[in-house]
Structures are given as C-alpha cells and as structure tokens.
C-alpha cells in the first residue's frame, strides 16, 4: 500500500480507539493487514516519503503531536522504513513484507483518494 494510506488507516484507528498505547500497537498490525490486499505501489520513493510525512505533519499540527491519531498514523507507516533502511532487515530479510502479491488489485489512484479523504476527514474534526 502507499505510505499515505498507511498513515490514514493508522490515524483513523488511533482516533477511534483514543488510546495512545493501543494506537501505537495497532499501527504495525494494520500495516501488515492492509498490505495483504492486492495493491499497486507508487514506484516513486520520494513521493511516497513526502506524501506520508506531509499527511502526518498535517495531522500533528491540527491535532497535537501525541494525539492517538498521529501516533497510530506514524506506527502504521513505520514498517515501510524497512524498504529504505538496510539495518532494519538483518540478513536481507524483511520483517513486515513477506509474501506480498505483486501488481494488480487496488489502484494507486483509489488508494490516494481514500488516503486523502480519510486524512481530510480527520483534519476537519477536532478531537
Ligand atoms: Zn508496506
């Protein structure tokens, strides 16, 4: 899944559970669950990182840095760091991304739309 959609689903879950520790724990589990769906990915790493960070920054400014939605969004996106940081995959093994189905499935357009709608909803809504 695209990074900003991971941020969006983690943030939505955090906003729903309203518990910081629970939001932090839920994030990576949601990441793995979301990646199980067949999906397209955006092959542009700087767009991925930029849009993910931008979504998180908007949420943090609007809601507060340690809001459960911000923490959930951050930990939901965090597993994708293993794509870019070699020390996160000792022996070349990825912890969160095994057996992913390549290509097809949910288009990047649909994911972007969903991410934007979810983040927009969370921004429009105060805690
Ligand atoms: Zn992933």
Q: What is the pLDDT along the chain (127 residues), one digit of tens a residue?
A: 999 999 999 999 999 999 999 999 999 999 999 999 999 999 999 999 999 999 999 999 999 999 999 999 999 999 999 999 999 998 888 999 987 777 789 999 999 999 999 999 999 976 6
Give the tokens for residue 87: 């020390």
Model-wide pTM > 0.75: yes
41 CA to centre of ligand 1 in angstroms:
9
Tell me, in angstroms, the distance from the centre of ligand 1 to residue 90's CA: 17
CA of 22 to the centre of ligand 1 (A): 20
Residue 13 C-alpha to ligand 1 middle, in angstroms?
17
8 A C-beta contact, residue 63 and residue 70: yes
Chain position carrying tokens 């805690």:
127
Instruction: Yes or no: say if 31 and 96 are a contact pair by the CB < 8 Å rule.
Output: yes
Q: How far is CA 95 from the centre of its chain?
A: 16
Alpha helices by DSSP H, the chain: 3-17, 20-36, 45-63, 68-77, 108-124
Taking Cα atoms as reference points, which of 117, 107, 41, 26 lies closest to residue 73?
Answer: 26
User: How far apart are alpha carbons 75 and 66 in whole angstroms?
Assistant: 12
Distance CA 29, CA 27 (A): 5
């Amino acid at each position: 899944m695209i990074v900003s959609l991971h941020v969006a689903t983690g943030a939505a879950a955090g906003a729903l559970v309203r518990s910081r520790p629970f939001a932090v724990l839920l994030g990576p589990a949601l990441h793995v669950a979301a990646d199980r769906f067949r999906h397209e990915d955006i092959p542009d790493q700087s767009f991925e990182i930029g849009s993910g960070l931008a979504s998180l920054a908007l949420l943090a400014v609007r809601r507060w840095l340690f809001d459960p939605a911000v923490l959930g969004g951050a930990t939901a996106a965090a597993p994708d760091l293993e794509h870019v940081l070699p020390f996160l995959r000792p022996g070349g093994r990825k912890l969160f991304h095994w057996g992913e189905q390549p290509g097809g499935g949910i288009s990047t357009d649909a994911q972007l739309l969903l991410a934007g709608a979810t983040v927009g909803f969370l921004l429009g809504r105060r805690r």
